[in-house]
Copies of this chain bind each other. A is one copy, B any other.
Amino acid sequence: MDVGVLYSGGKDSTLAALLLEPFYDVTALCCTFGITDEYQHAMEAASRVNIPTKAVELDPEIADRATIRIAEDGFPRNGIQYIHEQALETVADGTYFDAIADGTRRDDRVPTVDRSLAQSLEDRFDISYLSPLSGYGRSAIDSLVDELLVVESGPSDDIEKGDYEAEIRALLSERHSDTLVKEAFPEHTQSRVVRRK
C-alpha cells in the first residue's frame, strides 16, 4: 500500500514516515507555493533518511488567503490550520496513493485534523487519512526520535526547514512588514532531521 506523508524535514513528519514505513511504501510529499525554494530543504532531509520524495505544488491562492488571515489575526494559528487542510485536500485529490498522512500529534494545538475532517477527506477522495503520531504524547515521541534519528534543533530563523512557515513568512514580509512577521511568528525552536541513527 502506498502512503504520501506531508513532509517538512522536521522530526515530527520524519517520525510519522518512519512509523508507517514497516507497513506502507512511504513517499515524502514536500509542498511549495512557489514563493521560495525552501521545500528543497524538506526534499534533502527526506533523502538523508532514505525516504522517496515528491514535490507538491500548492495553489498560491492558498498562501494568499492564509497570509491575509494571519495579517488580520496577528497570529498564525488559523492561517496555518487553513493551509494544512488545503494541503491535505490537494494531495488527496486524484492521487494514486492509498493513504495520505501527516505528522500531527496528540498534543498539537495547530494544525489539528479532527475525526470529522478525517472522515470527510476519506469519503470524498476514497483514500485513508493517517496520523500515526496522534496516538503518541510528547515524551513518547521524544523517546522514539531520540532512538531513531539525529536531529538538529535551533531558533526558527536558523533552521533550514521545508514547511509552510518559511514561505508564508516571506509573503508576509513582502506584502506587509518584517514587524508583522516577528509578531505573528515569534522565534521558536524548530527541528531538522540530519540522519537516521
Identify which of B132, B139, B144 contacts A135 (C-beta below 8 A): B132
What is the 8 Å Cβ interface bit string for chain A, positions 131-164, against chain B (1 contact, 0 not)?
A: 1111111011001100110000000000000000
Known: A1-B147, A143-B98. A130 touches B135 (CB 8 A): yes
- Hey, which chain B residues are within 8 Å of A131, CB to CB? 135
A22 at the interface (CB under 8 A from B): yes
Interface size class of A (residues with CB under 8 A): 20 to 34
Q: Is the CB of B107 within 8 A of A144?
A: no
- Hey, which chain B residues are within 8 Å of A193, CB to CB? none
Identify which of B19, B107, B122 contacts A139 (C-beta below 8 A): B122
- Hey, which chain B residues are within 8 Å of A139, CB to CB? 122, 128
Q: Is the CB of B22 within 8 A of A140?
A: no
- Hey, which chain B residues are within 8 Å of A107, CB to CB? 115, 119
Chain B min CB distance to A110 (Å): 14
- Hey, which chain B residues are within 8 Å of A132, CB to CB? 132, 135-136
A99 at the interface (CB under 8 A from B): yes
- Hey, which chain B residues are within 8 Å of A130, CB to CB? 135-136, 140
14 A–B contact pairs at CB < 8 A? Answer: A1-B147, A19-B23, A98-B143, A99-B140, A106-B115, A106-B134, A107-B115, A122-B137, A129-B137, A130-B135, A132-B132, A133-B135, A134-B134, A135-B135
Shortest 4 CB-CB contacts between residues of A and residues of B: A128-B140, A131-B135, A134-B135, A22-B22
